[in-house]
Structure formats: structure tokens, C-alpha cells
Amino acid sequence: MRQLYVRRGSRMTGAQARAYACLEEYRLDPDCIDRHFEFVRHASDLLVEIGFGNGEVLAQFASTNPLWNCIGVEVFRPGIGALIRRCKAEELKNVLIAETDGLTLLEALPDSSISLMFVFFPDPWPKKRHHRRRLVNEEFAELTSRKLSVGSSVCLATDWEHYADQIGIVFDNHRSFDGGPSERYELRPKTRFEQRGEKLGHEIWDFQYKRVTSSTKESQDTSQ
């Protein structure tokens, strides 16, 4: 059984707590994915952001692209509250939130259902003994290759050099992807997290990988 590692974070402000209390209006339950069939399958395009932090990127994307449906994945409750506040303030109707880990949500979604995926500044788990807890590994790349439609991309960013090396190795070695280091994704605003990293002198590494072939599992299923 896969061991999951998440950090639920700090206390919420009063405003975040009030917004979080409205989560049921936006909740996507991976165990009941069929309830959201229309949202997932009938969207012209589907964005999934894993680890949306305070929701700055997701909310801006949803506002700029009203014909897209957007799923945000996060376990940091103050961030969930912050995103809900913004969704309500801007009357965003194309956002759902999964309060779970990224792998659980991806496994619940239909194959080839995602048009674009964001993974910006995932927890680096910097201590060597914790590297196995990192989100981006071979299992994640294989799962991503199944859930992205052919021609769709996953965009990633980190300010930890060792994690950047790992991201490059994992995706460069997966036959379903083509891509590599890139400029910052054009629709991604510079978040407060990124600004803090820059003030500390951290370099930012961005990547973009496009799914160009079938995943390993799909190839195996076809050959049987």
C-alpha cells in the first residue's frame, strides 16, 4: 500500500475559516467522482492544479478561462479557505476543490480527461531521508501520462535544485513525454511563495512536458 505524506499547515484566519465552512459548495470527493461526471467529462477543457497553495494561480486561470473547468487539489486548509473566498468574490462557477492528496485525485479521474496540469512548488521534503515522500517520482509520471489527453501538458516549478534535477530525470526518462526546462508558464502569476523564494536567493526552475504517446498501462492494455 502506498504511504501518503501531507502537511495540513497552520491556523486559519477568521475570514478563511468562514470561507472554508462553505467547502461543500465546491467539494469534489474522489470517492464519488461519478457525481461530478458533467464537470469532468463535458467541459471543453479541464485544468487540474495539484497543491494550489492559496489559490492565486487557479483562481486567475479560472477567471481568465471561463470555458475551462478547474479542479484544485490541496490539504492546506487556510489555502482552501483563501481560494473559496476568491471564488465567491469573483463569482467563479468553474472551480471544484478536492481536499486530498494529488495521487488520490488523479487515480479517481478518467484516463485522458485532463487538458492541462499544474504542479507549482510541491513540498520539496529537503532532508535526504524524506526524499521518498516527494510527489514527483516515476509513479506520478506514469499516472500523469494516463490522465492527460494526448497533446496536453503538465507544467511544474520548484525552487529546490535537487528536486528540479529529480523532476527532469523522471519526465525525461518517461517515453510518453516530450519537453524539459521552460520559461514560466505565461498565465502563471508570480505567487507570494515564489516572491519569498526569490528574496531568499532561490533560483526558480520551470518545466513543461507534453504527453505525446500512450502511457505504459494503455500500451499494455492494447496489446492484450
Residue-range definition of the domain harbouring residue 212: 23-223
Tell me if residue 135 falls in helix, strand or coil: coil
Residue 222 has pLDDT above 60, yes or no: no
Res 62 pLDDT > 60: yes
Residue 15 counted as domain residue = no
- Residue at 49 is within a domain: yes
Beta-bridge partner residues of 45: 68
Alpha-carbon dihedral sign for residues 126, 162, 186, 148? negative
pLDDT score at 1? 39
- Kindly state the average pLDDT of the residues 83-95: 98
Residues 51, 39: Cα–Cα separation, whole Å: 20
Stretch 17-36: mean pLDDT? 94
Number of domains composing the chain: 1
Active-site residue, from 123, 172, 178, 206:
123
Instruction: Work out the average pLDDT over 5-34.
Output: 87
- Establish if 163 belongs to a structural domain: yes
Judge whether 49 and 122 are in contact, CB under 8 Å: no
CA–CA dist 185, 88 (Å, integer): 26
Task: Please report, for the domain that includes residue 140, its CATH number.
Answer: 3.40.50.150
Domain presence at residue 107 = yes
145 is a domain residue: yes
Q: Is residue 175 part of a domain?
A: yes
- Domain membership flag for residue 1: no
Check if 34 is active-site: no
- Bigger pLDDT: 132 vs 4: 132
Residue 110 is predicted with a pLDDT of 94
In a domain, 212, yes or no: yes
Q: Residue 133 in contact with residue 141, Cβ under 8 Å? A: no
User: Which of residues 117 and 224 earns the better pLDDT score?
Assistant: 117
